[in-house]
A and B are shown apart, each in its own frame.
Chain A
Amino acid sequence: MSNLDSFREETRQWLEQNAPPAFLGRGGGGELEGPWGGRRWKFSSDAEKQWLDVMGERGWTAPTWPSEYGGGGLSPAEAKVLAQLLRELKLPRPLIGFGLTMIGPTLLQFGNEEQKRLHLPRIVRGEIRWCQGYSEPNAGSDLASLQARGVVDGDHMTVSGTKVWTSYADECDWIFALVRTKPEATKKQDGISFVLIDMEDPGVSVKPIKLISGSSPFCETHFTDVKVPLANVVNGLHNGWTVAKALLGHERSMIADAFGGVVSSDRARGGGLQDMARRYLGGGDGPLEDAVTRDAIAQVEMDTRAFTLTVQRTRDAAKAGHKPGPESSIFKLYGTELNKRRYELQIKIAGPQSLGWEGPGYEDAELQRTRDWLRSRGNSIEGGTSEIQLNVIAKRVLGLPD
């Protein structure tokens, strides 16, 4: 038996013994389904808490992070076995969130020893929930023109300014933020620092933003003379832009992964668009009578397949030891645009039944679909607009001049 085989057997036994019995066979859910953790998280069941505790203790919420920082210390091959087993046993994700997908990988790359020892174990155990302080009212796509100030004074800086689109800031414990610490720098990218701020510090206040979908997943976060120790600066003062860009890469790959997940779970629910068309447009079992809708469904389904095949091609190339090719640059762009088109087509098929906001006359699923459609319009804006993604491809992949 190879080492990997024995790892597989031991891990299977451990999971079967330690997973809450109610969770075995429950199903994993998508990339964005699971507990986000943090001091304010309300667990939906004792089992959810128990599952997070045992997995966090073992470091398997972050399987490949080094064990000295609380991670699982697994090799990529072992982590793959663990992921396979979790799927096989239909176990849900023990923990999700920006700690695992964004700030954690960034600290592993850029953080100093003290920062890694302080923050990573608390992410692994789901004790601290993180949010992102990047965009500002006057700095969206042009992120580097951000205005939030950090005035250095001895061993700390005083932070003032406003961040927008801070996801779930009202439920988060810490924020990683970009602040301008050297306003006199000639290049606007040069005077920026990447800092970690405790949301409980005096001077931090949060106001939820209501979206066109009616939900409020984002906040406006205000900083009024917040004292932040310089020990919380990552990668040194004024060197934040490099960190910011690397983290954006993590964010975009997380978003692309999430849309891969959305697509596959939609398919797993069975038929999707095809079933909707039969229900709302009528007709028998043969070819859909409305040729335009039939073509539109085929188009979205085929584009979806082309997208997932491209994701697979990237993974297969990586497994074969190739460096990441240019194809990965398209995932954020294409995945989000495709998700928008899928929702557009769904509401077109549902017709007037897609117009309900609330109340009688609509099924719950119809009302939810309408809210999801409205929310999907933001997919190609958040995390770098589609237009910015096209700029990035034109510059970095195609080498077109500025």
Chain B
Amino acid sequence: MQIVLTEDQELLAKTAADFAAEHSPIKRVRDLRDSNDPLGYSRALWKQMAELGWVGIPFPEAVGGAGMGLAELAVVLEALGRSLVPEPFLSTVLLAGEAISRHGDDAVRAEWLPRIVRGEAVMACAYPETTSRYALSQVATRCEAAGSGFRITGEKSHVLDAAGCDGFLVSARSAGADNDPQGIELFAVSADAPGVEIVGQTRVDHRNCAIVRLQGVEVAGDARVGAPGRGHTVLEDVVDRATVGLCAEMLGGMSRAFEMTLAHLKEREQFGAPIGSFQALKHRAAELFVEIELVRSCVMAAARAVDAEASDARKLVSLAKARCSDAFVLAGNEGVQMFGGVGMTDEYDIGFYLKRARVAEMTFGDAAYHRSRWAQLSGY
């Protein structure tokens, strides 16, 4: 495994950075929030990203994808993460899309993947519940046999990009106690299926997120993704992939927040000198720099390990997410502190990074969760 960008990956990074600068500077996130945009992202821009080939990066060429890996997608997500671009990569590509692509049968693949790759379908992955925290095995939503299919009842929350989506995967239990890893099914459900109610949630980062209620929702038997009762395995696989994608986004976000802070340290004068000349602030800036450099190595390694199906890939995913969580939160907190009073104002952008850092930290498991997972995978 080489922890270095190929020439093609460098080119891709440049293209994505140019695209974000032109179409989605940080001001766009502010405008989407201030206009109470119900989607929180743009379908038109998503279509453009699909036309550039980014949405199809990890999918097979047979369904219109590029057949590439997380190493490539991470490069794009890092570039977009710098200005907190809110388009639904994690939900549509890495969670629902990859679950269907890697674990679905031909029928469900044919129904969803071509539309996803073309940027026409946005798909959520409704697995978290109010009490599940970060545990993928905690599923209280139930399903029961109904004719040749199933009937699902339950409630999901904190479902990324569910508001205004075309369809979603939902986890539901056919057997076992609420926290049993066995007995979990995953189904692809159309957003307009009878009995589905999607209620938008507003979180501190104002990204798309929703509660998904299912009241006796009926699905056909071939809507199941993965083997019977083995939905947990599918979720573990795709949530790891989405975690690496989120880490890349977080790396971009923390890098940009740090650059903004550094620029402020050089410009802002107090006591007749730039505040960046004071050693108390220099050392804090240098320490943050160190953290971000370490994060970059971990994110690159995790993406490559997952692509290569390395034996320690899961550990590297936890390493990347634990460090990304701590470092992005630190970059947000230190940024606001070093900006001082203006950092607390809504007028300045640094606050957007602090808020996004917190949401990203608590998506797919925070640092403590991933340290515990590292320990478990290491045999202690």
Contact = CB atoms under 8 A, between A and B. Distances in A.
Given A297-B380, A313-B3, A316-B2, A390 B282 contact: yes
A306 interface: yes
Interface in A384-402: 387, 389-391, 393-395, 397-402
A232 B293 CA distance: 41
Given A302-B371, A313-B296, A390-B283, A400 B380 contact: no
B4 A398 contact: no
Contacts of A402: 277
A401 B319 contact: no
Contacts of A322: 4
B146 interface: no
B4 A302 contact: no
A317 B4 contact: yes
Interface string B261-286: 01001100000011011010111011
Interface string A314-338: 0011011010001100100110000
A47 interface: no
B289 interface: yes
Contact of A294 (B297, B300, B372): B372
B311 interface: no
Tell me whether chain B's interface is mostly helix, strand or loop, or mixed: helix
B378 interface: yes
B376 to A, nearest CB: 7
Interface in B299-351: 300-301, 316, 318-319, 322-323
A295 interface: yes
B379 interface: yes
A402 B295 CA distance: 28
A395 B297 CA distance: 23
A310 interface: yes
A277 to B, nearest CB: 7
A288 interface: yes
B112 to A, nearest CB: 36
Contacts of A326: 289, 293
Interface string A269-292: 000001001100000000110000
Nearest to B279: A391
B375 interface: yes
A298 B372 contact: yes
Given A297-B380, A394-B283, 15 more contacts: A288-B380, A295-B368, A295-B372, A298-B374, A302-B374, A305-B316, A307-B294, A319-B2, A320-B4, A390-B282, A391-B279, A399-B266, A400-B262, A400-B277, A401-B274
Question: What 4 A-B pairs are tightest by C-beta distance, nearest first?
Answer: A394-B282, A298-B371, A309-B297, A393-B286
Interface of A: 274, 277-278, 287-288, 294-295, 297-299, 301-303, 305-307, 309-310, 312-313, 316-317, 319-320, 322, 326-327, 330, 333-334, 387, 389-391, 393-395, 397-402
16 contacts: A278-B380, A287-B375, A288-B380, A297-B375, A298-B375, A302-B374, A309-B294, A313-B3, A326-B293, A327-B296, A330-B293, A394-B283, A399-B266, A400-B285, A401-B277, A402-B277
